[in-house]
């Protein structure tokens, strides 16, 4: 008998509003994501995708409802630190790398926070950059890279702590069509080959349809789209 796959995201009846309740962005949102799954958070601009990812990643706090990430409640500061250092990787639309630093220096930042040795860090960053095809760019500064290379670096940075879950917020949004596909395929491989859970916010139907499941955000609600 197969072992049930570990649930990485467990969100139930989550509500979130801004401006002291004047704008309700999430209404009774529930979501489960397991190991090895890539799930699309699909919806138009302003539908609440980033808001939900921020709650899952502990960057913001829900008004009510329950969220558990890798078994931890991200509202607690110690859990948040633990998640960010060891279990969770974030990839943003605009990569959030430090432009003046090299690829290698950017990748060393999360390893430093996780307290990893210099040798183990070097080994991991060589393995990851080689895998995504930027191994020859280690000593180049971020500002000298193409958009696709920057986003690959951002994915490597998210992967440095060997996370179980990746939250990707429109990671293909600033890229051309072909480069966007390369980045999407990379995230899908991480789910299928490495068993990582991936939640990808996107407004692009072609990417949503290539995910294992589609959760559609509309009018503050999240509905699973049957595939």
What are the residue ranges of helices labelled H in 57-114?
Answer: 77-82, 103-114
Order across the sheet with 23-34: list the strands. 23-34, 7-18, 64-69
Q: By CB under 5 A, is residue 62 in contact with Mg ion?
A: no
Instruction: Report the partner that residue 38 touches, choosing among ligand ADP, Mg ion, none (CB closer than 5 to 8 A by kind).
Output: none
Taking the least distance from each CB to ligand ADP, the nearer of 43 and 161 is 43
Taking the least distance from each CB to ligand ADP, the nearer of 49 and 150 is 49
Taking the least distance from each CB to ligand ADP, the nearer of 103 and 167 is 167
CB of 128 to ligand ADP, least distance (A): 27
Of the candidate residues 50, 106, 121, 172, the single one contacting Mg ion (CB under 5 A): 50
Q: What are phi and psi of 218, to 5 degrees?
A: -155, 130
The 3-state DSSP class for residue 17 equals: strand
Which residues in the 16-45 window bind Mg ion by CB under 5 A? Answer: none
Q: Which residue is nearest to Mg ion (CB)?
A: 50
CB of 26 to ligand ADP, least distance (A): 8
CB of 25 to ligand ADP, least distance (A): 4
CB of 161 to Mg ion, least distance (A): 24
User: DSSP letters of 167-221?
Assistant: EEESTTTTS-HHHHHHHHHHHHHHHHHH--EEEEEES-HHHHHTSSEEEEEETTE
Q: Interface residues with ligand ADP (CB under 6 A)?
A: 18-19, 23, 25, 43, 45-51
125, 108 Cβ separation under 8 angstroms = yes
Q: Which residues contact 101 (CB under 8 A, 6 or more apart)?
A: 141, 142
84, 58 Cβ separation under 8 angstroms = yes
Taking the least distance from each CB to ligand ADP, the nearer of 58 and 110 is 58
Task: Give the interface with Mg ion as residue ranges (CB under 5 A).
Answer: 49-50
């Amino acid at each position: 008998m197969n072992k049930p796959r570990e649930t990485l995201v467990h969100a139930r009846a989550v509500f979130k509003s801004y401006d002291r309740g004047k704008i309700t962005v999430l209404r009774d949102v529930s979501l489960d994501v397991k190991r090895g799954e890539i799930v699309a958070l699909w919806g138009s601009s302003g539908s609440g995708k980033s808001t939900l990812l921020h709650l899952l990643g502990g960057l913001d706090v829900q008004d009510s409802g329950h969220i558990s990430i890798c078994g931890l409640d991200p509202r607690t500061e110690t859990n948040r630190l633990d998640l960010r250092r060891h279990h969770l990787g974030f990839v943003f639309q605009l990569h959030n790398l430090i432009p003046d630093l090299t690829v290698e220096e950017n990748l060393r930042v999360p390893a430093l926070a996780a307290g990893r040795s210099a040798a183990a860090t070097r080994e991991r960053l060589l393995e990851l950059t080689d895998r995504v095809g930027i191994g020859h760019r280690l000593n180049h500064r971020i500002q000298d890279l193409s958009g696709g290379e920057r986003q690959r670096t951002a994915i490597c940075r998210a992967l440095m702590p060997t996370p179980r879950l990746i939250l990707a917020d429109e990671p293909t949004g600033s890229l051309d069509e072909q480069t966007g596909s390369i980045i999407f395929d990379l995230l899908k491989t991480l789910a299928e080959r490495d068993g990582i859970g991936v939640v990808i916010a996107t407004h692009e139907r072609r990417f949503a349809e290539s995910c294992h499941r589609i959760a559609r955000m509309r009018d503050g609600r999240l509905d699973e789209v049957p595939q």
